[in-house]
């Protein structure tokens, strides 16, 4: 893919939406849609969440392609139904258009509430892409914890205090769950460098025949409590600490996309975020050690999968 050519493509997410300044979800959507080839059309699905309430107010939408707002729990089912309808129209000769099907959901509508709908769509083998913009909590309704929320994060439902050090559970590994569905393509990525990893994986997902899944870490300045301009640095540290490894699973084969030359300690990722400030208080060093141990365990497990 040519970077300048990609950037010259039409904007399929129009400016003027109401997403927060520096929102990772907006960056994810805009750049995934840039991977569509010129001339191809798309049907864009969207589960209820930050993205939906801020980019769609009936009868107006920020998308230049056809758009469907689904409920929180059924984005996968909604778009799979649209994909089947399109196939029926093509079979009957009622359309010749080349249409791609892409749906977006946050981690609340993907990891949690919508996982049954997502799993069903993937298992049935629909020719569609499900994109999770993972901001690590239910940001739209008040920063409540989700199963994507990192361990020890301070949220409104896992508040830090005298009786709590934040969310006690590890985050769910959704990409591995999707890999267990034996679908043709899975990609995990975020915003680093010139976004070429994001573009490349988005194009592969969109143009792979059959179901595909993209998991994109999309930081939220308000929920993670960092200054909005720091988003790219936050993403780079997530990757270089191996908290958020970048990889693909292609027809069952695990492929590592990036391996840090010098793996950074997890503190580098945690320190800039206000939701983890309690971890750096005297006496809480053991919490960072436990966080590091889990990151290391998952990283080693991923390396083994990619070597197989």
- Give the pLDDT confidence of 123-179 residue by residue, as tens digits: 999 999 999 999 999 999 999 999 999 999 999 999 999 999 999 999 999 999 999
Q: Which residue has the higher pLDDT, 189 or 6?
A: 189
Which pLDDT does position 308 carry in this prediction? 61
Cis? peptide before 59, omega within 30° of 0: yes
Whole-number average pLDDT of the chain = 95
Instruction: Say yes or no to pLDDT of 60 above 90.
Output: no
The confidence band for 6, taking pLDDT boundaries of 50, 70 and 90, is confident
Q: How much of the chain exceeds pLDDT 70, in percent? A: 99
Confidence of residue 19 (pLDDT cuts 50, 70, 90): confident
Q: Residue 22: which residues within 8 A CB-CB, separation 6 or more?
A: 221, 228, 229, 231
Q: Partners of 56 in the beta sheet? A: 61
The CATH code of domain 3-307 reads 3.40.50.970
- For residues 203-227, average pLDDT: 97
Q: Is 94 exposed, middle or buried (0-12, 13-18, 19+ CB in 10 A)?
A: exposed
End-to-end CA distance of the chain: 28
Distances (CA, A) of 232 to 112, 138, 177, 192, 221: 26, 21, 27, 6, 11
Q: How many Cα neighbours within 13 Å face the side chain of 293?
A: 6
Q: What is the mean pLDDT of residues 16-38?
A: 91
Number of separate helices (H) and strands (E) present in the chain: 12, 10
Q: What is the mean pLDDT of residues 192-204?
A: 94
Three-state DSSP state, 18: coil
Question: Does residue 15 surpass a pLDDT of 90?
Answer: no
Name the nearest CA neighbour of 244 among 301, 286, 298. Answer: 298
Name the pTM for this structure.
0.96
- Burial category of 175 from C-beta neighbours within 10 Å (exposed 0-12, middle 13-18, buried 19 and up): buried
Three-state DSSP at 202 gives helix
**Confidence at residue 18, expressed as pLDDT on a 0 to 100 scale:** 84
Domain ranges of the chain: 3-307
Q: What is the pLDDT of residues 102-127, one digit of tens each?
A: 999 999 999 999 999 999 999 999 99
Contact yes or no for 246/126 (Cβ under 8 A): no
Q: Where are the beta strands (DSSP E) in 119-252?
A: 129-134, 185-189, 212-217, 247-250
The strand ranges marked E within 47-193 are 56-57, 60-61, 66-69, 99-106, 129-134, 185-189
């Amino acid at each position: 893919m040519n970077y300048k050519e990609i950037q010259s493509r039409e904007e399929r997410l129009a400016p003027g939406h109401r997403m927060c300044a520096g929102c990772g979800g907006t960056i994810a959507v805009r750049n995934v849609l840039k991977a569509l080839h010129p001339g191809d059309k798309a049907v864009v699905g969207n589960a209820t969440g930050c993205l939906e309430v801020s980019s769609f107010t009936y009868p107006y939408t920020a998308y230049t392609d056809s758009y469907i707002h689904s409920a929180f729990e059924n984005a996968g089912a909604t778009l799979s139904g649209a994909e089947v309808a399109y196939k029926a129209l093509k079979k009957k000769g009622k359309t010749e258009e080349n249409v791609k099907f892409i749906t977006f959901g946050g981690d609340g509508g993907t990891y949690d509430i919508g996982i049954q709908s997502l799993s069903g769509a993937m298992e049935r083998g629909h020719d569609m892409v499900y994109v999770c913009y993972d901001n690590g909590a239910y940001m739209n309704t008040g920063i409540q914890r989700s199963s994507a929320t990192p361990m020890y994060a301070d949220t409104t439902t896992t508040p830090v205090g005298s009786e709590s050090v934040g969310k006690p559970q590890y985050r769910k590994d959704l990409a591995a769950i999707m890999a267990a569905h034996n679908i043709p393509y899975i990609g995990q990525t975020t915003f680093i460098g010139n976004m070429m990893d994001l573009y490349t994986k988005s194009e592969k997902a969109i143009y792979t025949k059959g179901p595909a899944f993209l998991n994109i870490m999309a930081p939220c300045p308000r929920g993670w409590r960092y200054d909005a301009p720091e988003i790219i640095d936050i993403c780079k540290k997530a990757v270089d600490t191996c908290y958020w490894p970048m990889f693909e699973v292609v027809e069952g084969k695990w492929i590592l996309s990036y391996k840090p030359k010098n793996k950074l300690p997890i503190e580098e990722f945690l320190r800039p975020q206000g939701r983890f400030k309690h971890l750096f208080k005297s006496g809480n060093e053991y919490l960072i050690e436990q966080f590091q141990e889990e990151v290391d365990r998952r990283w080693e497990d991923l390396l083994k999968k990619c070597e197989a």
